[in-house]
Structure 1
Amino acid sequence: MSTGVDPAITLTKDDGWWIAKDTETGVSSQGRTRAQALDNLDEALDGYHGDGDEPTDEELREMGIDPENNQSGSLDESPLFD
């Protein structure tokens, strides 16, 4: 879905990190190098567009998430976004 904005990527450097932002979607990512920032942006855009693989139960556990009790909910109810 297009927002009517000409697609472009901006690259800025802040405090030793490169920040890449897709102006059409507003998705951004960062990396220690320009190449890392752009690679990370590609991955973030894949997620934004619904591409990519869901994490495995093992990957969830490594992130501290119990896959047996993993439920989506409102961001407003999440303690992470207070």
Structure 2
Amino acid sequence: MSKGVEPTITLTDEGDWWVARDTESGVTSQGRTKEAALENLDEALEGYRGAGSEPTDEELREMGIDPENNESRSVDDSDIFE
């Protein structure tokens, strides 16, 4: 049995800046808002790991996701800040 590492992101308020860090890779970024810091981290990780491609509808269905009913939520609406 393989023991994978779950990616962990830390998000800290540093006064005027929010700092987002991917603990697995050590990649860190910042932004004036939580959402900006996470978006900047996403961009930094893309540069670190290389750009991926969007999954096809078929790949989404194989993962149990219905592409027709798949909705994105705002970062502020997620549970990661609780």
Bucket of the pairwise TM-score, normalised by the shorter protein: 0.5 to 0.7
Q: Does residue 24 of the first structure (1) align with residue 24 of the second (2)?
A: yes
Q: Does residue 51 of the first structure (1) align with residue 51 of the second (2)?
A: yes
Task: Tell me what 1:38 maps to.
Answer: 38
Please list every run of 5 or more consecutive structure 1 residues that lacks an aligned counterpart in the other structure. 53-82
Please list every run of 5 or more consecutive structure 2 residues that lacks an aligned counterpart in the other structure. 53-82
SS at match of 1:25: coil
| Partner Cα distance (1:44, 1:24) in 2 | 13
Give TM-score scaled by structure 1 length.
Answer: 0.54
Report the AA paired with residue 6 of structure 1: E
Report the AA paired with residue 47 of structure 1: G
Shift of 1:50: 2.1
Identity in percent = 65
Alignment length, in residue pairs? 49
Task: Tell me what 1:10 maps to.
Answer: 10
Rg (Cα) greater in structure: 1
Shift of 1:15: 2.6
